[in-house]
Structure 1
């Protein structure tokens, strides 16, 4: 959770060096954050896009790396706890693994952000200038959303694989990763619709209420991530028990 806000500051500090404007960035954020929570970033986005903050960029990078790698390490520790195991080995090794996972996850999720947030405007621009047939735009929009979901799915699968202390071989498609991806999508859509109808709540608490709702949304997604891993653990144990019963039955015969 502590890594979220430095990461947002880092990302927004890079934006002044791109040709993007405030409206394009806000449209992209609207696709990822539910309801009115995106309003928390509006003033910050405008300020960072109009001015270049080199010091904020460097501080945001350092804080993001520290907190985000610690967050990944905490997630792996939580996954180990699902197997009732303690992490073995050097803490430095686990920290380095967390850094590698962080780089992979940031790359995949960053590509997903670009696909959802900015490729839509590119397709519209190409279509308006006659460089892309208009009938292809809906299909390409479906393709970019599908590819973005696949990237999210693989990000979850990577976490589940390295968080499994009994991993033997890579399993790209798992029941837990499938359930987690579906629940994350449903949670974001449902949470956004829920916040839309909380006008009285927003009027009472203002930006503080929006901030609290954003924290609830982040916490809910974290719980979904753990729930999906627990589901994988249950399926794995059930399969092992079934195999042991079959082997014991074959030996008795």
Structure 2
């Protein structure tokens, strides 16, 4: 009965035309594999890949790494030779944090970012490195599950790969934060001192800043996809999965910001803990997106492999 309904559905003219078109459609980054062939593996992988369970594991590990990272960066601030940086940071925190939450942590943050504590800095660095590499290890395990691959690398090699990826991602994150934090101040300085007079130039510089930030995000995802899994790479560093993940992360972040700003009642219901709930949800959704993008790369690889096997059988 269900088989008859399915056959009638796929032979219904509009659906038949869509399927026929998808069998001829080859998207950029698909290595010459038709969209239809890739989608068969992709949706099967999404259905049977326990995406939400793996995303829960990833989000927990990265949420756990968040607090040591905050402690480390805050204890690093007194050592930065930048005038009025503490004041600027307070203004940024006051903008993002709920009023009650900011007033609660204001004195503690002020003490941390104004007084040098080498001991706390060292402990914060070690804890950040440990929990961050644990988070990357969780990504490695999640990617290996996509290929149903058992980790063949030694514990030391896997940890070194995790440290390498943490360093790369940290550098890209620092560049991104620097652009966000100092880009507007530098642009304002140039405008106030009449260095920049053309509105078109100002708009182009603003657009360029966001293009660079988008590129940082794209390369962060690409590094994870290319170096994290144990299986030998069958896709390029710049891949369709990286492009999809970058686009979806951008959409989900913009959508999440709009939702929190206009509709969310978490802070009203839960107080300052509402901020933590929102952060955890954002991490969780982005973990799902990371896995979806990698699933696309794996689907292209599997479809390509199957196509080669069919060609070899035909030759024989």
- Regarding TM over 0.5, the answer is yes
Q: TM-score interval w.r.t. the shorter chain? A: 0.7 to 0.9
Q: Which residue of 2 aligns with 1:144?
A: 209
**Match status 1:4 vs 2:69:** no
Per-residue deviation at 1:247?
A: 3.6
Structure with higher Rg: it is: 2
- For residues 173 and 207 of structure 1, do their structure 2 counterparts lie closer, same or farther at Cα, with a shift above 3 Å needed? same
Greater RCO (Cα-Cα under 8 Å, separation 6 or more): 2
In the alignment, the residues of structure 2 paired with residue 141 and residue 132 of structure 1 have an alpha-carbon distance, to the nearest angstrom, of: 12
Q: 1:243 pairs with 308, 313, 316, which one?
A: 308
1:52-108 Cα distance to aligned partner (Å, 9 max, x none): 333332221110011111111121111111100110131111111111111111111
Task: Give the distance between the partners of 2:307 and 2:90, measured in 1 at CA.
Answer: 51
- Partner Cα separation in structure 1 for residue 111 and residue 261 of structure 2: 26
Q: Provide structure 1 residue ranges, at least 5 long, that are not aligned to the other structure.
A: none
- Report how many residues are paired: 248
Q: Match for 1:49 among 108, 113, 131?
A: 113
Gaps of 5+ in 2: 1-61
Residues 165-180 of structure 1 aligned to structure 2 (within 5 Å) = 165-168=230-233, 171-180=236-245
Partner of 2:123: 59
Comparing 230-239 with 161-170, which one deviates more in the overlay? Answer: 161-170
TM normalised by structure 1 equals 0.86
Structure 1 stretch displaced more, 12-21 or 181-190: 12-21
Aligned to 2:147: 83
| Match of residue 75 from structure 2 | 13
Secondary structure of 1:118 counterpart: helix
Contact 2:140 2:230 in 1 (8 A): no
**Contact persistence 1:176–1:232 (CA under 8 A):** yes
Residue 212 of structure 1 is matched in structure 2 by 277
Q: Is the 8 A contact 1:157 1:177 kept in 2?
A: yes
Residue of 190, 197, 201 corresponding to 1:126 = 190
Q: In structure 1, how many angstroms separate the alpha carbons of the residues matched to 2:99 and 2:208? A: 25
**CA RMSD of superposed structures (Å):** 2.6
Normalising by structure 2, report the TM-score. Answer: 0.70
Are residues 1:159 and 2:224 paired?
A: yes
Whether contact under 8 Å (2:77, 2:86) holds in the other structure is no
